[in-house]
Amino acid sequence: MPVSKSEFDSLPPCDFYTPAELLEDDQMYTVYEIARLLQGLDPDAEIDEGTEDVLLDWTIPWIMNNADDLVVAEPRTDNEPAHYGLKGTADGDESDVGDENE
């Protein structure tokens, strides 16, 4: 059921970090680490599984919405998640390299 705005003490804008504000340009992060960073936590902070599930509900759309500014590294092993980082900033970043077929 909807709730009247007057029932809340404060209604700040719904602003999210940009990738450049959130991520270090020479680092790659898992979706779990990005979820923590979006909440102002350390990337390796211990949180309970239920909280992590809620944070992932916010983080996955954030990654999709900011995909143009991000690169993705496939998991190195079957037991590891993918990693995300800023596009075009780290050495060896494929986004810095032109298409050889052009």
Q: What is the largest CA-CA distance in the chain?
A: 59
Residue 7 lies in a domain: no
Residue 95 lies in a domain: no
Residue 65 lies in a domain: yes
Overall domain count for the chain: 1
Note the pLDDT tens digit of each residue in 48-72: 999 999 999 999 999 999 999 999 9
CB atoms inside a 10 Å sphere around CB 55? 20
Query: Do residues 85 and 70 lie in contact, with contact meaning Cβ atoms separated by under 8 Å?
Result: yes
State residue 1's pLDDT score: 94
Residue 40 lies in a domain: yes
Residue 64 lies in a domain: yes
Residue 55 lies in a domain: yes
Quick check: helix, strand or coil at residue 29? strand
Q: What is the mean pLDDT of the chain?
A: 88
The residue type found at 94 is E
Range of the domain at 43: 23-88
Kindly report which listed range (23-27, 36-40, 88-92) carries the lowest average pLDDT score: 88-92
**Would you say the pTM of this structure is higher than 0.85?**
no
CA distance 46 to 15: 25
CA distance 40 to 21: 12
